[in-house]
Chain A
Amino acid sequence: MAHTPLTRRELLRSAALAGILLPAAGALSACATPAGNTGAPTAPTAGAKSATNPLGIADDKPFEVVIFDGGLGDAYFTDIHQPLFKTKYPKIEIKHSATKEVAKTLQPRLAGGTPPEVIHNQGANAMDTGALVQDGQLFDLTTLLEAPSWDDPNVKVRDTILPSAIELGTYDGKYSVLTYTSGVWGIWYSKKQFDENGWQASPKTWDEFLALLETIKKSGKCAPFTYAGKHPFYVYETILTLAAKIGGIDVLKRIDNLEDGAWKAEPVKQAATAFAEIGAKYLMPGTAGLDHVQTQTAQNKGKVALLPCGVWLENEQKDSTPEGFDYAVFPLPDFSASDAMPYGTVHARPGEDFFVAAKSANPLAGVEFMRGMLSKEAAGKYVELVSTPSVVKGAAEGLQLKPGLTSANAMLSAAGDNTTYFRFRQWYLPMHDEVAAATGQLMNGRLTVEKWIERIEKKAADIKADSSVKKFTRT
């Protein structure tokens, strides 16, 4: 070991030296800069506009689609969207790939100016939409809205999809993200299990809800309640929906707009207190360490009765759901008689983000591809495949739907205009992370409601003060 003292000293000296040398090496770094500074949007692609080709895309220029692989792989691309597109443009080659690491795969390509045309920006490793907007990476999809729909040249695309989808896809006044599905949240249960035990689903008031939890607990058959412990989003989503139901949509608007004291509002406090109580009394043991699939599978196995989730649940669990499980869902009960929003109010929010990269080589082809995605045929097949409602109006007409989706559709139509949503998750990812972390601790009883509010308020203030982060507002 005779050399070690020497080498340790060398290590130290070299490190000190590196500090001096590195700037000198800056010259070298020229080759470490993005190559694609030239990647400005290319001139509109040549091609004659016509009734069948309203955007006038070149019918032989290839483009690329990258899909988030959330367990479905690229099945819907290869089975639905690509064949449909090909019927119209047989000569256009579509390159495609699927990834679970959306950000790592695509961020360097976006920065380098060589992004794919169509990007499905979804999943735990999705890219921060706010950052993308800030850098002008999103192609303005107003073109898409104004184009005639795939099925009927007399109807614009704008009129074939839900208004909420347009609203939520609009960033900075420009429609730039296509949200393909119409997500709706609620509390899920097995109709079979409830029928067998004589439990009454769909409680109308908070007291009825607590009584139901108590009955399940007393029965000793299973735990009453759980959520994806490793992803507390699933429960803060529920808390915020309850807060909106108690205090009205403005509660969430103020939160999204980072207004001072937005989290201190009484409805937020009441909702958080209510769920902290559920966390203390009715939570399945071990919840905090389980992820969404593990808790959902626990429900399939009859170990827990209720869990809050989005409408994709049934599809996500299709392989582990026992025969006759009979998924069903109910909305949050009334918290008190003075709730601002009526019984049946739900969190409904279009989701599954797709966008066209502004700096891609052939963006109009990407828009045309989206136009195809929004055709009734494509949307309907997608609904069947993933068992999730579509933003395309009437896409599910005449389809044979699974029980969970039927139940969710009923809940959604019963809600009518009484829907809520929040947007800070897409706008300010660090905010989402903080709310999730704090809510996890709230449910475990390690954080009081007051501390929970204090922490989140502080984060909101920090983000508000951070000049490098682009701010969004909703009205």
Chain B
Amino acid sequence: MVSDSVPISRSEARAIRKSVLGPAWWATSQIVLLVWTVLVAVPIVWTFLASIKTEVELDDAWSLPAVPRFDNYARAWEQAHIGQYMLNSILVVAFGVAGTMLLGSMAAYVLSRYRFRGSRLLYLLFVSGLAFPVYLALTPLFFVVQNMGTVPVIGQFIGLNSHGGLVLVYIAYSLPFTVFFLAAFFRTLPTAVAEAALVDGASHTRVFFQIMLPMAKPGIVSITIFNILGQWNQYQIPLVLLAGAKEKWVLTQGIADISTAAGYDADWAALFAALSMAILPMLIVYTIFQRQIQAGLTAGALK
């Protein structure tokens, strides 16, 4: 794609702005964009505000709290175990995404660059997973994980109510999209370097890890972000697989739990505090890495 732009002088630029993109246009744009910013930010800011109000003050949606009530946070921390669940989420997602990327890129690479009997079939089998609604598999999946728990020695780490089991399930369910995406990506990479390395006697494994993987970095980054978001948001699967061990729950379960609990205890302030505690770290992490995240997403998707 040709991307060199012809340099234009300041006066030319000014002329264009005046003729086409005048001040009225600029102002309208700003207003439209500001409106959406408000639409996006206000519910979030409002949640923070609501999280420091009392039950009575919550009655009026837009009132300010007389005194900020941080005890809501104490209750939410206590009830929703936000800290513990966030740690669990981080742990599970870290291992889940790492495993997904390792196994996914390996499978995608082999399936996209090597022709062998059944390669097509395997690839299609992976990709067809994209069309399965996960609710359909929940109950059979439960039995699979339960049965894995009876495997000698390692069973206890991958059975029900174990983070290991959840990680393996996350990996399996992230593979379709990862393979689908990365296989396409690997196909677009030039083959010359890899061929040369193979001729020079490098092993296939080495070629993959030292040449192809670094070349595929934009795609890897992009799909990693997708997988982090996807696994972080998972709710149904941990609900079924971790049901019996409350201390192992992940964050989404904690939020859903306190959201239901608010229906019994009428403790809405604690719900807002829990929501705030779940939202804030995500926004901070995102804001810090937003440049990389945006670049990564688009590099992969626009290749």
A residues bordering B, Cβ < 8 Å? 1-4, 6-7, 10-11, 13-15, 17-18, 21, 29, 31-35, 69-71, 97, 99-101, 104-105, 107-108, 111-112, 291-294, 296-297, 301, 316-317, 319-320
Contact = CB atoms under 8 A, between A and B. Distances in A.
Nearest to B142: A108
Interface stretch (B65-73, B95-103, B183-191, B289-297): B183-191
A14 B143 contact: no
- Helix, strand, loop or mixed for chain A's interface? helix
Given A3-B188, A11-B130, A17-B128, A108 B264 contact: no
Contacts of B246: 97
A70 B144 CA distance: 30
Nearest to B265: A71
Nearest to A14: B124
Please provide the 8 A-B residue pairs with the shortest distance between their CB atoms, ordered closest to farther: A71-B264, A14-B124, A18-B128, A3-B184, A105-B243, A108-B142, A32-B140, A14-B128
B303 interface: yes
Nearest to A301: B59
Given A7-B180, A11-B180, A101-B239, A293 B124 contact: no
Given A1-B302, A11-B180, A15-B131, A104 B124 contact: no
Contacts of B134: none
B54 to A, nearest CB: 11
Contacts of A97: 244, 246
B184 A7 contact: yes
Contact of B240 (A18, A108, A291): A108
Nearest to B137: A32
A21 B106 CA distance: 23
B85 to A, nearest CB: 15
Contact of B139 (A11, A107, A301): A107
Q: How large is the interface on B (under 10, 10 to 19, 20 to 34, 35 or more residues)?
A: 35 or more
Interface in B245-292: 246, 257, 260-267
B242 to A, nearest CB: 10
Given A33-B140, A108-B139, 7 more contacts: A6-B187, A10-B127, A17-B121, A71-B264, A101-B243, A107-B139, A294-B266
A35 B244 contact: no
Interface in B118-159: 121, 123-128, 130-131, 139-144, 146-147, 150
A105 B244 contact: yes
A14 B131 CA distance: 10
A1 B264 CA distance: 50
Interface of B: 55, 59, 121, 123-128, 130-131, 139-144, 146-147, 150, 180, 184-185, 187-188, 239-240, 243-244, 246, 257, 260-267, 301-303
Contacts of A29: 140
Contacts of A293: 262-266
Contact of B124 (A6, A10, A100, A317): A10
B264 to A, nearest CB: 3
A105 B244 CA distance: 7
Contacts of A292: 263
A101 B146 CA distance: 19
Contacts of A112: 142-143, 146
B261 A100 contact: yes
Contacts of B188: 2-3
A104 B262 CA distance: 20
B147 A31 contact: yes
A107 B240 CA distance: 10
A317 B244 contact: no
A18 B244 CA distance: 34
Given A101-B243, A105-B244, A108-B240, A35 B128 contact: no
A317 B266 contact: yes
B59 A319 contact: no
Contacts of A33: 140, 143
Contact of B141 (A1, A32, A34, A111): A32
Contacts of B144: 31-32
A104 B128 contact: no
Contacts of A21: 121, 125, 128
A28 to B, nearest CB: 10
Given A71-B261, A104-B239, A319 B266 contact: yes
A70 B127 CA distance: 42
A293 B11 CA distance: 66
Contacts of B267: 319
A99 to B, nearest CB: 7
Nearest to B244: A97
B276 to A, nearest CB: 21
A15 B128 contact: yes
A26 to B, nearest CB: 12
Given A14-B124, A101-B243, A108 B184 contact: no
A3 B216 CA distance: 14
Contacts of B126: 14
A70 B125 CA distance: 43
A320 B124 CA distance: 57
Nearest to A25: B125
Contacts of B265: 71, 293, 319
Contacts of A70: 264
B141 A100 contact: no
B266 A108 contact: no
Contacts of A105: 243-244
B55 A320 contact: yes
Interface centre among B121, B188, B266 (most CB of A within 10 A): B266
Nearest to A33: B143
A292 B263 CA distance: 8
B53 to A, nearest CB: 15
26 contacts: A2-B188, A3-B188, A10-B123, A14-B124, A18-B125, A18-B128, A21-B121, A21-B128, A31-B144, A32-B144, A35-B150, A99-B243, A100-B260, A101-B243, A108-B146, A108-B240, A111-B139, A112-B142, A112-B143, A291-B263, A292-B263, A293-B264, A296-B266, A316-B264, A319-B266, A320-B266
